[in-house]
A and B are shown apart, each in its own frame.
Chain A
Amino acid sequence: MNVNAAVAGDGASREWVNAASIRDLPIDQARGTVAMGWFIVSEAMIFVGLFFSYYYLGHGQPRWPIGDPPALPLPTAMVAILLLSCIALWAGGRLLRQGRDVSARYALVLTILLGCGFLVLNALDYNSESTSNPPTGNSYTSIFYVIEGVHAAHLILGLLFLLYALLLPRLGPTDKPPHGSYRNAAMYWYFVTAVWFVMYAILFIGPRR
């Protein structure tokens, strides 16, 4: 793989001079990971915009949130569930790197189940909150449920990524795309988890300072 730039015959033009052809280079495994990184950055901008809207709508309001701040117990349980799911996913990644493909798949199943548990709690939270504060109530409830709903949609997408990785014949490095499906799906799951942590701080803890 010694494909280095070197000075060729006439000295003016620099060329790759190498014995081996570029045909012998390994298959690049990182492309999907780089793409997932950019995807996550652009997705993060959606949430930056939503949080900006949250503060923008609150700016100049005598009370923000309008009405009581949202209840804490369920969202706290959801933080715990996502934390557990991330630990399972991270452990699965370690197992995969040790070549234990089947164990990594069990970790994936566990992560998916915990993610489904999060969605159930999210629905319960929505039901209990929306009876007293319906989404159409005022600008606060409107932006609150938009952020929660957009996050839930992203979490469902993350679950679908994990499910897809689970169904794929190979989780690790491959000759043909998708390469490193476990790692890429896991990156997205860490991202939706991190967004929930930020949401927990801004939407649930923030109003109680």
Chain B
Amino acid sequence: MSYFSAASMMISIFSTIQVYAWIATLWKGKPVLTTSMCFALAFIAMFIIGGLNGTITALIPFDWQLNDSYWIVAHIHYVLVGANLFPVLAGFYYWLPKMTGRMMNERVGMISFWLTLIGFNATFFPMHFLGLMGMPRRIYTYGGGMGWDDWNLAMTVGAFLLGAGIVLSVINFLVSARYGRPAGPNPWNADTLEWSMPSPPPPYGSIHIPTVQSRHPLWDEHDEEYDPEDARVLDRERMTLSTTWLDAQPIGLAKMPEDSIWPLVLSLAIGALAALVLVKSMWWTLAPIIAGLAVMAMWLWPKEEKRAS
């Protein structure tokens, strides 16, 4: 039991290092409160709540009381939704202009942000109280008069708010992708390399393999694409540069994968494998395993050279 508790506690050490790294990044930078940054800040806050209620869940005497109660549901959702949904939305608002070439609507984005944040907390924070009041998880209904009714009502209202917030963002994505104002290459005045490309970027990325001289490539004096003799162009095949690990000196050319049907077949085989395990026909799982190995063998088999030029 002490092992179990210590092993669970270990998670909090690494999560805390992460959280301090994020806070330090914000501390050193100059955060601009765009919708994307709001979602990112909400993510850190939600993740901290999920981390704190997780840390005390790792204490055996506490867990003894709350295991299989709604407390655990609250914890898992603060970690998973807080740590997955919010950063994904932040990423959408940040990078979709790069993908579609059009800006999202910031005002609709902020409304969606507040709906999502308030809805999420109204849905999942009361679960802490319900867990402490003894409501078990994995039930689809419960008798009236247990004293759980009010919090459950609040949670239902919160769930609708959360859903409305997410739907609003999805609508925002779809409408902005078509009618938004053009983004240009670098709408955020960001410092990283993807923002030196037009939005949306061409499929091959940059023609000249960029060189980087500082931690803020687009903010320094150095021109990443400066290459008058076309010395850093790879136009023969699908190739990229291999470099040394620490100081990025070029040492060779690496062939990149060609278009192939085999990855699709492989993923279908893996899907079949998972489905067969689900229906517990274990001997049949040998078929997709063998098929998958055969597909990988075909996929990796050396192909005839295709000279583009």
Contact = CB atoms under 8 A, between A and B. Distances in A.
B230 interface: yes
B243 to A, nearest CB: 9
A13 B221 contact: yes
A15 B300 contact: no
Nearest to A157: B293
B249 A14 contact: no
A164 interface: yes
B221 A25 contact: no
A169 B305 CA distance: 14
A103 interface: no
Contacts of B232: 16, 21-22
Given A22-B253, A25-B252, A176-B305, A12 B222 contact: yes
B305 A175 contact: yes
A27 interface: yes
A168 B242 CA distance: 24
Interface stretch (B91-99, B196-204, B233-241, B272-280): B233-241
Contacts of A174: 302
Contact of A176 (B251, B252, B303): B303
B252 A29 contact: yes
Contact of A22 (B3, B209, B222, B300): B209
Interface range on chain B (Cβ under 8 Å from partner): 20 to 34
Interface string A160-201: 100010001110001111100000000000000000000000
A23 interface: yes
Interface in B233-277: 233-234, 236, 241-242, 249-255
A8 B252 CA distance: 23
Nearest to A3: B250
Interface in A37-66: 56, 59
Given A23-B236, A28-B254, A177-B300, A12 B249 contact: no
B253 A25 contact: yes
Contacts of B153: none
Contacts of B226: 8, 13, 15
A31 interface: yes
Contact of B253 (A15, A27, A160, A170): A27
B250 A23 contact: no
B192 interface: no
A22 B213 contact: no
Nearest to A174: B302
B297 interface: yes
A4 B247 CA distance: 11
Given A16-B211, A28-B253, A21 B233 contact: yes
Contacts of A4: 249
Ordered nearest first, which 8 A-B pairs have the shortest CB separation? A28-B252, A28-B242, A13-B222, A12-B221, A28-B254, A21-B231, A176-B302, A3-B250
Given A21-B232, A26-B252, A27-B254, 8 more contacts: A4-B249, A5-B249, A12-B222, A16-B250, A25-B241, A28-B252, A56-B3, A168-B301
